[in-house]
Structure 1
Amino acid sequence: MTLLKKLRLWQAVLIAVAFSFVVSYTAFNLQTRVTEIAPDAQSGIVIMYSLILNTVLWLVLSFAAFYFLQGLAQKYWFKSFVSGALSLLFIGYAGYMSVSAMQLSNALIAAADPSTPSQRLASLADAKLGYGYELDNRLAANPSTPVDTLRALYQRENQIGTDIKLARNANTPNSILIELSKRKDTNQRNAIIRALEANPKVINGELRFDAAMTLQVK
């Protein structure tokens, strides 16, 4: 308390601003890490949104932390209590957003890693972590993803990226690969056929294309 009594205005401002900057900058780095793991067309939006959000956090937390320090120094207990509670609220929010971002980053890494246990991959298919279809795409491409999970991914509509990954995955059931080869939409079909041609089952002759470029069991 003796140190707080001697705390000058500029020192309180400096401490509050520096502390708030560390909190907001750390949160920004953690929240934007996902754009490095999974570059996407929306990455710029994610970075800009996080930048704006954490700039606002820096400002409001700086004010709250400053009034907290000032309240302690001047023994204005109510002032310090309110500003301290607000500071904790802002820090808690930053922590929550950062933890959520870390969970998403770890999930994306695990979904693409063939050494990830199948139980973990299956659980990721049901995770509600956001970031578009990237998690589904990575699971669909992973050769270690359980067959039941691949079937569940195939049932998700309007995810052409996921279907293309399934078409290339050697672990995808033959029935799904055959159904994919029957896709009618020209743009989707061309992309899927190219992916199917790279599937090990097609390369090694387990499945083959007929004259209509529809897969058949050899």
Structure 2
Amino acid sequence: MPPTSAPERALTASALRVAFGDVVALADVDVDLVAGRTTVIVGPNGAGKSTLLEVLAGARQPTSGRIDSGGRTRSFVPQRAAASEHLPVTVREIVSIGAWGRVGPLGRLTAAIRHDIDAAMRRLDVAALARTPFATLSGGQRQRALLAQGLARGADILLLDEPTTGLDARSADLNRRAIADERERGVAVVCVSHDDRLISEADHVIRLDGGRLTPGSAPAR
């Protein structure tokens, strides 16, 4: 049999430390994200899960440590929209924000990018809500719109904070399906989650407690 090629590392983080004054949120955490693999970060409340995700996304600078993404693009989907829910923006406008990283906020959306925006909205079943004010959506609809925003970025690394928590069954299934599709597309997907199904289907599980990796963190497969 021909030799199996080594998995492509999409991002490597080493010795990550985050401290807020005397409080250490992360301590000496090493992470490898692999292209075409799903990584789930688990642990009790206050374990440092969301902090780690924010650092991997580039949304928070670590106190010390090193991150190497090799220039790969990252898309971060938090639990809540960065924009105020009370702003008069439509669902399509919210999803389109995801494409700004491809052209910049003052850049022009090309026909190809607009096509990708439409495709992301169809995948998460929010296309029919394109002109609907974002603030009027249900919780499940909002999370699907936010995930569509993340997909519109077309990034190499997709980082999600609790993508199925608190959602109705249909919305949770749509989000799981989108995550699986991105994995198959070769994207490195990493999410914080308590979803037993996502955890059981993950290629790699990172377990945190008190800001540290704990025994039971499974290696990337």
Shorter-chain TM-score bucket reads: under 0.3
Q: Return the TM-score normalized by structure 2.
A: 0.25
Higher strand residue share: 2
